[in-house]
A and B are shown apart, each in its own frame.
Chain A
Amino acid sequence: DVKVTQSSRYLVKRTGEKVFLECVQDMDHENMFWYRQDPGLGLRLIYFSYDVKMKEKGDIPEGYSVSREKKERFSLILESASTNQTSMYLCASRPQGTYEQYFGPGTRLTVT
């Protein structure tokens, strides 16, 4: 079974804090993704990575950055958290040559 884990299920941060969300997959997948999910808006792609140290912007990258130093780990960074970044953050991974993405359990982030 594919396993994607995220560092926290729930996180509460203050406005202006730097926030790190970590995602780890154990299936040697080349591709990894960060989404946010908001009521009425669905899943929106923030960033993705198709290889170590490679990254591409998704649909809503503003206010976020990412890091992929190792194949199994993909980090999402909120440089200066704002209240409009309160959301459910989902990480996913996908092996090369297939198209199904496998999701982690999500991190519910609240910025106060």
Chain B
Amino acid sequence: EDQVTQSPEALRLQEGESSSLNCSYTVSGLRGLFWYRQDPGKGPEFLFTLYSAGEEKEKERLKATLTKKESFLHITAPKPEDSATYLCAVQDENSGYSTLTFGKGTMLLVSP
């Protein structure tokens, strides 16, 4: 059974204080790993897809990296508007209909 574990569950940062969120996963074969951002009361917003170990993607203050067992979402010099819950999901290459398995998310709060 595919598993996705995100840590920490919650993270509080000061504005400008860089940090990383972790997503560890267990799949029989990884087809893709996805990062989403979710604001309170809204649907998840797609951020990145990573396909293979060593791959990196960047968007503004966010950088996602991937190894064979985990992914990191690095947040550089965060601002209060980066406050949100960040979700990680994986797609198993043996999943017949290409469904995603989601982690429970990391709630990030950036204080001014």
Please give the residue numbers on chain A whose beta carbons come within 8 Å of chain B beta carbons, in ascending order.
Answer: 4, 31, 33, 40-43, 45, 48, 50, 56, 58, 90, 92, 94, 99-106, 108
Contacts and interface: CB of A to CB of B under 8 A. Distances in A.
A108 B41 CA distance: 8
Nearest to A10: B41
Given A40-B104, A42-B105, A103 B43 contact: yes
Contacts, number: 52
Contacts of A108: 41
A58 B103 contact: no
Interface string B75-112: 00000000000010101000001111011110000000
B74 interface: no
Contact of B46 (A31, A48, A100): A100
Nearest to A88: B41
A48 B96 CA distance: 12
A105 B98 contact: no
B104 A100 contact: no
A94 B100 CA distance: 11
B24 interface: no
Nearest to B95: A99
B44 interface: yes
Contacts of B34: 99-101
Given A50-B97, A101-B100, A108-B41, 18 more contacts: A4-B43, A31-B97, A31-B98, A42-B103, A42-B104, A43-B87, A43-B89, A48-B97, A48-B99, A90-B44, A99-B31, A99-B49, A99-B91, A99-B100, A101-B34, A102-B46, A103-B44, A106-B43
